[in-house]
């Protein structure tokens, strides 16, 4: 680990917004990505791993990629390929080329994450942009490592309405037991939920800016973004919440976000509410806080940073 850099672990279920979050993180000089782990979520583990390998190869991100859990802690996967498109990363034309050289490491992601945390010289930073299955299993197998996590910065949950169901955000719905276990373990969770990401909207002008770089890779990224903007209506691009990059942008620009302490609980049993994150902000009067919950974002600045990073990276890659 280069001196003076903060070691960070990135756990994802690569779809398009995970891709954007990872490329932003790779461009932050003050951080060094120690490892990337994949998990079932948007799509199967096979696809999230293939998508992640395609990203690290296309963008020249030289970090090890580890395959994680292919099933949630309880039950069967709830993937959303039907919404996101083929392989969990739809396109309106071209797509990122499959990785030709990069392969996943032989070691399982959960063990690799445990090893990373145990070897960390100072409290480590973990970013999660998918279901928290890998993180929860690491904490179950090695409870000692919770003390080695300095910050756990996660896209997931909501202080209000869900997206996968009326009550639940997808990442939590896909593995609510994992979120509950991570909270129970006392991990220092920073929650970037839908209430926050809905303040951060990416739109057709941003697609045009990326497309204007003009390279084949820029066209592919713009076509993936085009599909993301058409999730709600495949005939018309519309502004969409830029979920996952809120986590990594907040590392570089915490001043663009406001977080508040809260007691967060996850509904596990509700017939209609399973996966809902119940956030009590009246702390410590009504409950002991167990998380920091992002409540406000300077959305235009966040999206501008992400698009600037892509224009810069795509221009350099040629």
State yes or no: residue 51 binds ligand RIB (CB under 6 A).
Answer: no
* CB closer to ligand RIB out of 13 and 223: 13
Residue 190 interacts with, from ligand RIB, Ca ion, none (CB under 5-8 Å by kind) = none
Residues 120-159 that bind Ca ion (CB under 5 A): 129-130
State yes or no: residue 129 binds ligand RIB (CB under 6 A).
Answer: yes
Distances in Å between the alpha carbon of 39 and those of 70, 191, 309?
6, 19, 25
Return d(Cα 175, Cα 78) in angstroms, integer: 9
Supply the DSSP string of 73-116, one letter for each residue: SSS-----HHHH-GGG---SS--PPPPSS---BSS-HHHHHHHH
Return d(Cα 185, Cα 216) in angstroms, integer: 45
256: left (phi over 0), alpha (psi -120 to 50) or beta: alpha
Show the CA angle centred on residue 131, arms to residues 69 and 78, nearest 5°.
80
State yes or no: residue 18 binds Ca ion (CB under 5 A).
Answer: yes
Tell me whether residue 243 is one of the annotated catalytic residues.
Answer: yes
State yes or no: residue 77 binds ligand RIB (CB under 6 A).
Answer: no
Return d(Cα 37, Cα 6) in angstroms, integer: 18
Phi, psi angles (nearest 5°) of residue 306: -65, -45
State yes or no: residue 130 binds ligand RIB (CB under 6 A).
Answer: yes
Residue 251 beta carbon to Ca ion: minimum distance, rounded to whole angstroms? 16
Residue 169 interacts with, from ligand RIB, Ca ion, none (CB under 5-8 Å by kind) = ligand RIB
State yes or no: residue 158 binds ligand RIB (CB under 6 A).
Answer: no
State yes or no: residue 72 binds ligand RIB (CB under 6 A).
Answer: no
State yes or no: residue 18 binds ligand RIB (CB under 6 A).
Answer: yes
- Inter-axis angle of helices 216-228 and 204-211, to 10 degrees? 170
State yes or no: residue 41 binds ligand RIB (CB under 6 A).
Answer: yes
Residue 161 near residue 197 (C-beta atoms within 8 A):
no
Binding mask 186-225 for ligand RIB (x = CB under 6 A): ----------------------------------------
Return d(Cα 63, Cα 34) in angstroms, integer: 7
Residue 55 beta carbon to ligand RIB: minimum distance, rounded to whole angstroms? 13
Enumerate binding residues for ligand RIB (CB under 6 A): 13, 15, 17-18, 41-42, 129-130, 155, 163, 169-171, 243-244
Q: Enumerate the active-site residues.
A: 243
């Amino acid at each position: 680990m280069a001196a003076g850099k903060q070691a960070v672990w990135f756990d994802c279920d690569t779809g398009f917004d995970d891709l954007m979050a990872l490329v932003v993180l790779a461009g932050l000089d003050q951080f060094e990505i120690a490892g990337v782990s994949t998990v079932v979520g948007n799509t199967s583990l096979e696809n999230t791993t293939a998508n992640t390998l395609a990203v690290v190869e296309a963008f020249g991100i030289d970090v090890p990629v580890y395959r994680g859990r292919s099933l949630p802690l309880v039950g069967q996967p709830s993937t959303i390929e039907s919404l996101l498109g083929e392989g969990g990363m739809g396109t309106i034309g071209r797509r990122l080329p499959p990785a030709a050289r990069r392969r996943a490491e032989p070691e399982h992601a959960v063990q690799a994450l445990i090893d990373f945390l145990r070897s960390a010289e100072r409290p480590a930073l973990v970013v999660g942009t998918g279901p928290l299955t890998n993180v929860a299993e690491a904490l179950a197998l090695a409870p000692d490592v919770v003390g080695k996590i300095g910050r756990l910065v996660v896209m997931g949950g909501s202080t209000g309405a869900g997206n996968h169901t009326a009550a639940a955000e997808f990442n939590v719905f896909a593995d609510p037991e994992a979120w509950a276990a991570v909270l129970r373990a006392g991990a220092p969770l920073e929650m970037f939920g839908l209430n926050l990401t809905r303040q951060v909207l990416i739109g057709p002008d941003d697609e045009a800016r990326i497309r204007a770089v003009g390279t084949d890779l820029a066209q592919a990224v713009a076509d993936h973004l085009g599909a993301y903007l058409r999730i709600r209506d495949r005939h018309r691009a519309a502004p969409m919440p830029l979920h996952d990059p809120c986590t990594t942008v907040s590392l570089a620009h915490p001043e663009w976000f406001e977080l508040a302490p809260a007691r967060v609980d996850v509904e596990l049993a509700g017939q209609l509410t399973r996966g809902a994150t119940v956030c009590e902000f009246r702390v410590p009067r009504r409950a002991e806080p167990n998380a920091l919950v992002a409540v406000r974002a300077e959305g235009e600045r966040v999206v501008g940073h992400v698009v600037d990073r892509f224009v810069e990276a795509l221009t350099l890659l040629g």
